[in-house]
Amino acid sequence: RTPSQVTLRWAVEHNITVIPRTSKIARMRENLEILNFELGEQALNKLNSLGQESPFYWDVSKLTTATSQDRSGDRNPEL
């Protein structure tokens, strides 16, 4: 299994929706192969323990959308 397959499979087993982006047919097939295997308990435990010291997440309350003014180069100095 490739690292990408393992990562995608880990997400699927945690009910996390993933939408891999590729235009290459071979990669599409590779991505679909994650439905043909499951990660073992030992592998899941090891993957689950990664990054526990400094968890990362997106704070969606801090996300903003770009405005036409932002794209013109006239940026808000407070951001």
SS3 per residue for the chain: CCHHHHHHHHHHHCCCCCCCCCCCHHHHHHHHHHHHCCCCHHHHHHHHHCCCCCCCCCCHHHCCCCCHHHHCCCCCCCC
Q: What's this model's pTM, rounded to 2 decimal places? A: 0.63
Segment 29-58, tens digit of pLDDT:
999 999 999 999 999 999 988 876 766 666
CB 6 within 8 A of CB 39: yes
- C-alpha dihedral (70, 71, 74, 79), degrees to nearest 10: 30
Whose tokens are 């969606």? That residue is 60
pLDDT higher than threshold 70 for residue 17: yes
